[in-house]
Structures are given as structure tokens and as C-alpha cells.
């Protein structure tokens, strides 16, 4: 857990933002990519998170920057996804779905010899229920603790842990491990 009691007055805002991006930017991007399944939307959401971080009230202290940023990213992702869904519904109603949506971008990278495993894993992750998928992303690749995950998702810690356990079981079954 990384605890930062807001940006100290002496620290310039841009330094604070730059350090925050270096620490959390790639992790937040990967998490957003996993939820939104679109690189452009993940970039937009990430930018909104950092703009809001820059604009926040100076009196609003951030006790836990990890939870704060991932919660903000999740809220923004949900907002953006709902917006896209309603736009898509309107388009479908008017054009009866002329264009097929683009395939989701890759979430993971691997060496050439592991490429087949990677594809299987991506497919297995895509088949997970969303609530389990985000716990797996946050725990395995974003490195959050169950306490932090619970705070981000707004669920009890036990719920976060059990979602993770179910997700791993499903992944094992699907990958035939």
C-alpha cells in the first residue's frame, strides 16, 4: 500500500502528478483496458483521472493514493462505458448495426513461444464475469492487496477474496490446468 497524505504544499503540483503517473499510470491504464476493452477509451479515462487529481480541492486529503486513483479510474470507466453503451443503442436503432465493433485489444504480452498460452489466457479472462475479472486484474497485474481491492470496489474484503478464488478456479478449469 502506498500512503500519501495529499501533496505537501511545498511539492509542486506537477511533480506530484508526474510521480503519481510514473507509479500508477501504467497500472491504471492496464486496469482500464481490462474494463473498457478499448485502448482509446482507456486513454481518455486515464486522462480524466489525472485531470481530476490535479483539480481536486487542496483541503481534500488523500489518505491512500492507491485506492483513491483506482476508485477514480473505476468510476470513470463505468461512466464512459455507460455512455458508449447508450450511444451504441442509439446507433443500432437507427442503422440496424451496419458496422461490427472492433475486436478488443490485447491485455497481456508474452514471448513468441508463449503466444498460444497468452491467447488462451486472454480468452479465459474474457469469459470471467466482470466482477471477477477486475479482481484478477487488480490482484495479479496491478499488485493491489485485498484490502485495497475491497476499498476500490466498495465491497467487504472477504467478498474480494472469494471473487478472486472463484476466478482462479474458473481460469484453471478453462485452461485445463
CB neighbourhood size of 15 (10 A): 11
Binds another protein by CB under 8 A, chosen from 23, 30, 75, 166: 30
Alpha carbon of residue 115 to chain centroid: 23
Binds another protein by CB under 8 A, chosen from 114, 116, 123, 158: 114
Letters for 48-67 (x = contact with another protein by CB under 8 A, - = none) are --xx-xxx------------
Structure letter (DSSP) for residue 141: I
Tracing cell 483539480 back to the chain, one arrives at 55
State yes or no: residue 171 binds another protein (CB under 8 A). yes
Binding range to another protein, per CB under 8 A, among 63-71, 81-89, 140-148, 150-158: 140-148
Binding range to another protein, per CB under 8 A, among 2-10, 25-33, 58-66, 71-79: 25-33
State yes or no: residue 21 binds another protein (CB under 8 A). yes
Tracing cell 508474452 back to the chain, one arrives at 110
The least distance separating another protein from the CB of residue 154, rounded to whole angstroms, comes to: 22
* CA gap 160, 134 in Å, rounded: 10
Tell me whether residue 18 or residue 92 sits nearer to another protein (CB atom): 18
* CA gap 58, 5 in Å, rounded: 11
State yes or no: residue 173 binds another protein (CB under 8 A). no
Helix H or strand E segment including 66: helix 65-95
- By C-alpha distance, which of 145, 175, 141, 176 is closest to 160? 145
Ramachandran region, residue 58 (left: φ > 0; alpha: ψ -120 to 50; beta: rest): alpha
Q: Which residues bind another protein (CB under 8 A)?
A: 14, 17-18, 21-22, 25-27, 29-30, 33, 42-43, 46-47, 50-51, 53-55, 105-110, 114, 117-118, 121, 136, 140-142, 168, 171-172, 177
Amino acid at each position: 500500500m502506498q500512503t500519501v497524505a495529499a501533496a505537501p504544499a511545498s511539492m509542486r503540483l506537477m511533480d506530484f502528478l508526474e510521480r503519481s503517473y510514473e507509479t500508477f499510470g501504467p497500472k491504471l491504464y492496464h486496469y482500464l483496458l481490462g474494463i473498457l476493452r478499448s485502448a482509446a477509451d482507456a486513454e481518455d479515462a486515464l486522462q480524466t483521472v489525472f485531470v481530476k487529481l490535479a483539480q481536486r480541492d487542496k483541503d481534500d486529503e488523500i489518505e491512500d493514493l492507491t485506492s483513491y486513483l483506482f476508485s477514480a479510474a473505476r468510476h470513470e470507466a463505468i461512466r464512459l462505458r455507460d455512455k458508449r453503451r447508450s450511444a451504441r443503442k442509439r446507433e443500432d436503432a437507427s442503422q440496424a448495426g451496419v458496422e461490427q465493433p472492433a475486436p478488443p485489444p490485447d491485455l497481456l504480452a508474452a514471448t513468441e513461444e508463449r503466444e498460444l498460452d497468452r491467447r488462451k489466457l486472454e480468452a479465459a479472462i474474457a469469459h470471467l464475469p466482470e466482477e471477477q475479472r477486475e479482481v484478477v486484474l487488480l490482484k495479479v497485474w496491478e499488485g493491489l492487496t485485498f484490502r485495497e481491492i475491497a476499498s476500490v470496489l466498495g465491497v467487504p474484503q472477504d467478498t474480494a477474496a472469494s471473487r478472486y478464488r472463484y476466478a482462479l478456479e474458473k481460469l484453471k478449469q478453462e485452461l485445463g490446468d
